[in-house]
Amino acid sequence: MAKNYAEIAFTPAVRTEQEKHGSRRQYERMERLERGTELSFAEADFIGGRDSFYLASTGENGYPYVQFRGGPPGFLRVLDAKTLGYADFRGNLQYVSVGNFKTNNKAALILMDYPNRRRLKLYANAEVRDASEAPELVEKLTVEGYNAKIERAVLLHIEAFDWNCPQHITPRYTMAEIADILAPFREEIRRLEKENERLKAK
Which pLDDT tens digit goes with each residue over 31-44?
777 666 789 999 99
User: pTM (2 decimals)?
Assistant: 0.86
Which residue did the predictor score with more confidence, 202 or 201? Answer: 201
Which pLDDT tens digit goes with each residue over 75-89?
999 999 999 999 988
> Has residue 172 got a pLDDT over 90?
yes
Q: Distance between CA atoms of 96 and 104, rounded to whole angstroms?
A: 12
pLDDT at 166: 87
**Chain center to CA of 184:** 29
Q: Tell me what the pLDDT averaged over the chain comes to.
A: 91
Residue 78 · residue 152 · CB < 8 Å: no
pLDDT at 107: 98
